[in-house]
Chains A and B, each alone.
Chain A
Amino acid sequence: MNIYILEDNLIQQQRLERIIKTLALKHRITYRSLFSTAKPDHLLEKIADAADHQLYFLDLEIKHEEQKGLAIAKEIRSRDAYGTIVFVTTHSELAPVTFEYRVAALDFIEKELQEADFVRKVEECLLIANSRRTIPVSSDTFSFENKYTSFQIPFSDILFFETMEIAHKIRLVTKTKVLDFYAELNEIADQDKRLFRCHRAFVVNLANIRSVDKKNKWIWFDHNESCLVSRRLLKETLEKMEAIRQS
């Protein structure tokens, strides 16, 4: 793991370095390098030749240039799709949801926090980044885009798609969400081979089926969700499910 700090205040920079070193020792986390800089360009140069998992601590407000932090984060993200980005910033700059959407930022650490809380937050981020070193971050997202909508969702969250009472309106049911949008079921089934139209009104994620009630023609998922399977497509559903499981 490589750790980068982008911070234009020298005292803050050293403080963060000190905390990281202490925590790494405490948790026996080994890192290849710990690189601190006040210049965004230096940081961007550095990451060009990195193969390891990277952890970035970025200050959002560099030399009082507003929005500079977001631009840098986007640049980093375009070069390093899997790195862990953490923002260390003042409260007024806080925009966690936006940064989560834009650059999949892991966390925000407020500079104004009490020392103990500050250290605890850094510790959390360090531990998460360290675990990501071994388990690659899943990039398996379902991106859907048509004339009427555009969204992304982790593939593993998808349970099924169903038609709604309004023509062409589709509801996606995931583990924690429902999303209603305009599309055709066939359009969706064509997106991925794990998606299968098992009924006039349903497209299921074969990879997430928990069980199939062959007698009553029900497909069950986790979280107690279920949908129908047509008699005609029952066999094919089971075969495809098996094929997905084995691959």
Chain B
Amino acid sequence: MTNVIMIIQILSFFFIFQSISRYPFTVKESSAWLAVFVIIGFVSTQFIGVWGAITLFFCFVVISYFKNQRTFTALGVFYGAYALVVNSFIGYLAADPITGLVGFIFKQSSANIEYLPYLFTAMAPPIINEIALRLVRHYVPQLNKEILQASSTIILLPVILLLVIILLSVYPILTIGNETGAFSSFHRTLLIGMWLLFVVALLYMQFQYNHIQKREVEKSRNERLVQLKDYADQLEKIYDEFRGFRHDYANILLTLEEGIYLEDWEQVKQVYDQTVKPTGLLMRKNEYSLLKLRNMHVSEVKSILAAKMIMAQQMKIDVALEMEEPIHLIQMELISFTRILSILLDNAIEAAAQTDEAKMWIVLLEDTAVQRIKIMNNSAEKVNIRHLGERGYSTKGKGRGLGLYNVQQMIKEMKFASLETEAQPRMFSQTLILRKAGEQNEHLHTRG
């Protein structure tokens, strides 16, 4: 019987780990890992008793390592520690009520029910954890995976440290408890203290997260302000140019008129060549594509587009913007969208800057079913698009491919976003296709 309970406990660890980390597991993967767990669990318990659970912790860290594209992250360690602590925490809390309940229900039964409390206690943690997590995710949606992903190592490290301390102090007590069959009141106090510490750790994380987020919002607001100011400056510059032109225009007309009445064709020709003709060139400058930003009515996106376009122009890149229809809404959560847009624009600017005739295009298209954002640049070499987006792959050299990797990581979770990447011999483009949600989707869905 103890074996069955132990297997259930090992399964509990795994399920808790899975529900907190939300790593996707195929059936095959799950069964393979479970088999590994059970074996490791049994073998280690044989030698080190309750401490066997600690070996599972390392297993979780290893899983996280693989699930995170072979990198160790603080988050991975946190998931492992969380699974272990929560399992014993809930198990500890649930043990007494369950024992009482079982005793009460089976009061009349004469069957051997001694193992039942253990069985239920072993099964309780994953179930309670799942329910609690679901409730939290449902009622506090901002406490989603993003909270953990966004929390930097700085927040996670103290939490992990705390969890490890809890683990290290709880397991010896449990071991003693198991051996003697009873906990002394001192140990009980210590255990409760540890669990309180655990709750404090989670609260601390939440607090830190809020703090960091507030700071981020503040920072991006300031950034946007600066960007919009640059944009306004640039518009003023363009306006000045036009004003100058308007001023000249009157003079040009006067001189031409004079030449025409005097039939001095030499003068007319000279004025035309020297003053009228160059204005055509003025009109051809793509600097004015900045004016097309008036069609963008989402100020966050407008400020980023303006900032990046100005930056590109300062780097002597010819930037063309196509936005023929007004855009009032972006079909994606704005924070993610602006991050993705910035990365795509930065990549395009960097790649274009390395070419002789640096040029880039930014195109926003509003269709009935989709919104298309295309960033195109000329590139010095043909990019291998099949490897693009892999962690660390970059045409810019080793260890610099994180931008596109991040884009793909973000898009991964978004069902309504598709990413198209195109490479021609001297041209590279990325198109974000955002499906519009709404009634027409329902209609189309019945078709598909």
Residue A216 at the chain B interface, CB threshold 8 Å:
no
The stretch from A15-23, A31-39, A91-99, A116-124 touching chain B is A91-99
Whether the Cβ atoms of B288 and A98 lie closer than 8 Å is no
A114, chain B: closest CB distance, angstroms: 10
Q: B385 contacts A98, CB within 8 Å?
A: no
For the complex, what is the distance from the CA of A173 to the CA of B384, rounded to whole Å?
12
Establish whether residues B420 and A178, one from each chain, have CB atoms under 8 Å apart when the complex forms. Answer: yes
Beta-carbon contact of A95 and B419 below 8 Å: no
Which one of B322, B367, B418 contacts A179 once the chains associate, using CB atoms below 8 Å? Answer: B418
Residue contact B435 to A92, C-beta cutoff 8 Å:
no
User: Is residue A182 within 8 Å, beta carbon to beta carbon, of the partner chain?
Assistant: yes
B301-329 to A contact mask, C-beta < 8 Å, 1/0 = 00000000000000000001010100000
Could you tell me the distance between the alpha carbons of A94 and B447 in the complex, rounded to whole angstroms? 37
Given A67-B324, A101-B365: A149 in contact with B288 (beta carbons within 8 A): no
Contact between B372 and A145, CB atoms less than 8 A apart: no
Query: A169 to B418, alpha carbons, bound, how many Å?
Result: 9
Residues of A within 8 A of B283 (CB): 90-92, 112
Contact among A94, A150, A173, A179 with B369 in the assembled complex (CB-CB below 8 Å): A150
Query: Could you say which of A96, A98, A149, A173 contacts B418, with CB atoms under 8 Å apart?
Result: A149
Chain B 411-444 interface mask (CB, 8 Å, partner A; 1/0): 1100110111111100000000101000001001
Q: Are A182 and B369 also in contact (CB < 8 A) when A94-B320, A146-B444 are? A: no
A80 at the interface (CB under 8 A from B): no
| Bound complex: CA A177 to CA B382 (Å) | 12
Cβ of A51 under 8 Å from chain B = no
Quick one: given A98-B324, A166-B24, A180-B411, are A147 and B280 in contact (CB under 8 Å)? no
Chain B hits for A92, CB < 8 A? 283, 288
Interface: B374 (CB within 8 A): yes
Whole-angstrom distance between the Cβ of B4 and the nearest chain A Cβ: 32
**A177 touching B370, Cβ below 8 Å:** no
Smallest Cβ-Cβ distance to A146: which chain B residue: B448
Question: B247 on the interface (CB 8 Å rule)?
Answer: no
Interface residues as binary, B375-398 with A (CB distance below 8 Å gives 1, 0 otherwise)? 010000000011000000000000
Instruction: Tell me if B62 counts as interface (CB < 8 A to partner A).
Output: no
**B residues less than 8 Å from A112 (CB atoms):** 280-281, 283-284
Residue of B nearest to A96 (CB): B322
Tell me which of B284, B367, B421, B433 contacts A110 (CB under 8 A): B284
Given A92-B288, A148-B415, answer yes or no on A98-B322 (Cβ-Cβ < 8 Å). Answer: yes
Assembly CA distance A149 to B369 (angstroms): 8
Q: How large is the interface on A (under 10, 10 to 19, 20 to 34, 35 or more residues)?
A: 20 to 34
Q: Decide: B416 and A179 in contact? CB cutoff 8 A.
A: no
CB of A176 closer than 8 Å to a CB of B: yes
Q: How far is the CA of A225 from the CA of B38 in the complex (A)?
A: 42
Contacts of B372 in A (CB 8 A): 101
A19 vs chain B, min Cβ distance (A): 19
Least CB separation from B419: chain A residue: A180
B419 touching A179, Cβ below 8 Å: yes
Question: Is residue B214 within 8 Å, beta carbon to beta carbon, of the partner chain?
Answer: no
Residues on the B chain within 8 Å of A70, using CB: 324
Query: Is B24 a contact partner of A147 (Cβ separation < 8 A)?
Result: no
Q: How far is the CB of B64 from chain A (nearest CB, A)?
A: 15
Expressed in whole angstroms, the Cα–Cα distance for A187 and B445 within the complex equals 12
Return the contact of B433 from the options A94, A98, A151, A187 (Cβ within 8 A). A151
Q: At the interface, yes or no: A48 with Cβ under 8 Å from chain B?
A: no
Task: Scan B106-148; emit 1 where CB is below 8 A from any A CB, else 0.
Answer: 0000000000000000000000000000000000000000000
Q: Indicate if A181 sits at the interface (CB-CB under 8 A).
A: yes
Q: Let me know if B363 is at the binding interface, CB within 8 A.
A: yes
Q: Quick one: given A176-B423, A176-B424, A178-B385, are A147 and B441 in contact (CB under 8 Å)?
A: yes
Q: Which residues of A lie under 8 Å from residue B281 when comparing CB positions? A: 112
Minimum CB–CB distance from B377 to chain A (whole Å) comes to: 13
Asked whether A149 lies within 8 Å of B363 as measured between CB atoms, the reply is no
Judging by beta carbons under 8 Å apart, are B386 and A173 in contact?
Answer: yes
Please, what's the 1-or-0 string for A1-15, where 1 marks a CB less than 8 Å from any CB in chain B?
A: 000000000000000
- Point out residues on B near A: beta carbons under 8 Å: 24, 280-281, 283-284, 288, 320, 322, 324, 361, 363, 365, 367, 369-370, 372, 374, 376, 385-386, 408, 411-412, 415-416, 418-424, 433, 435, 441, 444-445, 447-448
Closest 3 CB pairs of A and B: A181-B418, A95-B322, A177-B422
**A positions within 8 Å CB-CB of B:** 67, 70, 90-92, 94-98, 101, 110, 112, 145-151, 166-169, 173, 176-182, 187, 225
Given contacts A148-B418, A149-B435, A151-B420, 8 further A-B contacts (CB under 8 A): A95-B363, A97-B361, A97-B365, A147-B435, A147-B444, A148-B416, A180-B420, A181-B433
Can you list 19 A-B pairs, Cβ within 8 angstroms, ordered by A?
A90-B283, A95-B322, A98-B363, A145-B444, A147-B441, A147-B445, A148-B435, A149-B416, A149-B418, A150-B369, A166-B24, A169-B412, A173-B386, A176-B422, A176-B424, A177-B420, A178-B421, A179-B419, A180-B408
